[in-house]
Chain A
Amino acid sequence: MATTKQSGITRRRMLGDLFKTACGVGLFGLGLGLYANRASSLPAHAIRPPGAIPEDDFNGACIRCGLCVRACPYDMLYLGQVGQDIPTGTPYFIARQKACEMCEDIPCVAACPTNALDHALTDIDDARMGLAVLVDQETCIAFLGLRCEVCYQVCPIKDAAITLDRQHNKRSGKHALFIPVVHSERCTGCGKCEQACILEQAAIKVLPQHLAKGELGRHYRLGWEQQAKSGGPLVSPDPEHRYNLPAGMEYDHAGEGLIEKGGTAVPFSDNPLDTLNQQGPLTE
């Protein structure tokens, strides 16, 4: 009897200790998990190196070794430190300070001992570190009518990732605006444009894809694309386009003005006097 009793007490104490430890560890784990949940969010101004897998997976795959930081020939990568708002020990760069130089051999990805930086990335042009967005049209001096074009000129894939779009300058009425336009299908998010922007605060910024991109409804179809694909109208033939023009007038060849039917394509004759005489005689 004595032994049974004794073993009973031992078992009771053992189970008690077990539950006590389990509860303590569980509480600690809960706190740690909640903290980690908050600590895992990456601020928008911190950009991951090329090839970084989606942020949720990145925080699990990256082992915080800093080999990418050391592999970077331009020393533009940093590791998050305790107390910063960047997940501790994970690599990032700040485009405004020093942008990615887009090395052709992508040494940071090659150095990564895990797939946090996806080793399937072999062409740096396929990297999607983020997406440049011209966030402020009020301060971008291209919108003010100046020919800045710095972001366009520094873009490593210029004329593809950033193009200049000519628009009419409504303010002056007679000038063109040279508006930089980013194309998401080519922009790698290297941050060169943000780094180079001549403003005190960059008007063009690299943002994480999920902040920068909209998304069409999955059921959306672009009519003109579908039409091109099928080679003709999808439902019924389009009615012929008809204009209600003033009598005796038609569009000129470029479609930007009206000319008299049967008139010349150019509304002005070579003789400037003809134009002056068109206005009619000068009156008081």
Chain B
Amino acid sequence: MLILNILLILSYWNFTMSIREKPLSPETQGWLRAHRWLIARRLTQVGVLALFLLGPVAGIRIIEGNLSASMTLDVLPLTDPFLLLQSMLSGSLPVMSGVIGALIVLVFYALVGGRVFCSWVCPINPVTDAAAWLRRRFDLRGNSALSRNLRYWLLGLALLFPPLTGVLVWEYINPVSMLHRGLIFGVGGAWTIILALFLFDLFIAKHGWCGRLCPMGVFYGLIGSGAIVRVRAAARERCNDCMDCFAICPEPQVIKPALKGAGEGVGPVILDRNCTNCGRCIEVCPEGVFRFATRLHNVS
């Protein structure tokens, strides 16, 4: 999962570096190039799932388990630190492989951006992206005023339950682990929750789940608060206020400080922990303002 991720990110990074020289509008740069990051993300998401499914479907055991904890080729343990933390908060002593797995995941996402998990790996992302796409496609504007800070409350709640009740209460409704586990071990009635979540995002709240409620996302966001890999509004002086990036971004509030902060001395790197590094702003911008970069040298 990680290796695939790294490879894809690196290859596409090189790819975009080479074509970055001249800004091109989506109309002129061709469909493929205007969706290169989206395609890369979908490939990663499908690839991760396929690797997990190879075992149960084809008997080829590469990665066992699911996103909550997995074992790759019998040597590389990976553990979801959000779940391990809950497990430990319930009073359970961890096991070496679980702790090592969680540390690997922590370090990886601390470097590449915590919410890279959300946009590159999480199985819910295609679901909520589909809802967001339909919203744009059919111009659905209904939006309830759920605060984007609500997810921090739910994170608190999710972490409060294990020490209080001794049970991983969030796991009874966590659609992220539920969907991924369901796809690999049998979905049961989990599809109803996923459908409900899709309809919630489609009709009730724009980016409702991933952007406002999901405590897992914000947990990963917190992990990646100091991430090295970030999107940089490198050519922000070229911005012509077309708003395309704001329209496509699942967390549009993260763009403004970097894109419009030149006057206030704010650097061009998007530092907000809730940026998912999905790269959509990069490819939709007709002026080629954005690109992947590091958080270093945050001066224009």
Contacts and interface: CB of A to CB of B under 8 A. Distances in A.
Interface of A: 17, 21-22, 25, 28-29, 32-33, 35-37, 39-40, 53, 56-57, 59-67, 69-71, 78-79, 81-84, 87-89, 111-116, 119
A61 B69 contact: no
B173 interface: yes
Interface in B51-67: 55, 61, 64-66
Contacts of B149: 21
B154 A59 contact: no
Contacts of B178: 82, 88-89
B93 to A, nearest CB: 5
A67 B65 contact: yes
B95 A113 contact: yes
29 contacts: A25-B154, A33-B169, A57-B90, A57-B92, A60-B87, A60-B165, A63-B98, A63-B168, A64-B68, A64-B181, A65-B66, A66-B66, A66-B68, A67-B64, A67-B69, A78-B185, A79-B186, A81-B187, A82-B190, A82-B192, A83-B188, A83-B189, A88-B172, A113-B98, A113-B101, A114-B84, A114-B95, A114-B98, A116-B87
Interface string B147-174: 1011001101100111001111111110
B252 interface: no
Contacts of A22: 153
Given A70-B65, A114-B94, A32 B169 contact: yes
Contacts, number: 160
Contacts of B150: 21, 25
Contacts of A69: 185
Contacts of B169: 32-33, 36
Given A64-B181, A119-B95, A29 B157 contact: yes
B265 interface: no
A59 B189 contact: no
Contact of A84 (B156, B173, B188): B188
B79 interface: yes
Contacts of A115: 92-95
Across the A-B interface, give the 10 residue pairs with the lowest CB-CB distance, nearest first. Answer: A81-B188, A60-B90, A83-B189, A113-B98, A61-B92, A65-B69, A82-B189, A36-B169, A65-B68, A70-B64
Given A81-B182, A115-B94, A67 B154 contact: no
Nearest to B156: A25
B84 A33 contact: no
Interface of B: 55, 61, 64-66, 68-71, 77, 79-80, 83-84, 86-87, 90-95, 97-98, 101, 147, 149-150, 153-154, 156-157, 160-162, 165-173, 177-178, 181-182, 184-190, 192-193
Contacts of A56: 166
Nearest to B98: A113
Given A64-B171, A114-B95, A33 B166 contact: no
A53 B93 CA distance: 12
Nearest to A61: B92
Nearest to A67: B65
A79 B185 contact: yes
B74 to A, nearest CB: 10
B172 to A, nearest CB: 5
Nearest to B90: A60
Given A32-B161, A65-B69, A82-B190, 19 more contacts: A25-B153, A32-B170, A32-B172, A57-B91, A60-B90, A61-B90, A61-B91, A63-B68, A63-B86, A66-B64, A66-B68, A67-B64, A67-B65, A67-B69, A81-B187, A82-B182, A89-B181, A113-B69, A115-B94
Contacts of B153: 21-22, 25
A162 B251 CA distance: 63
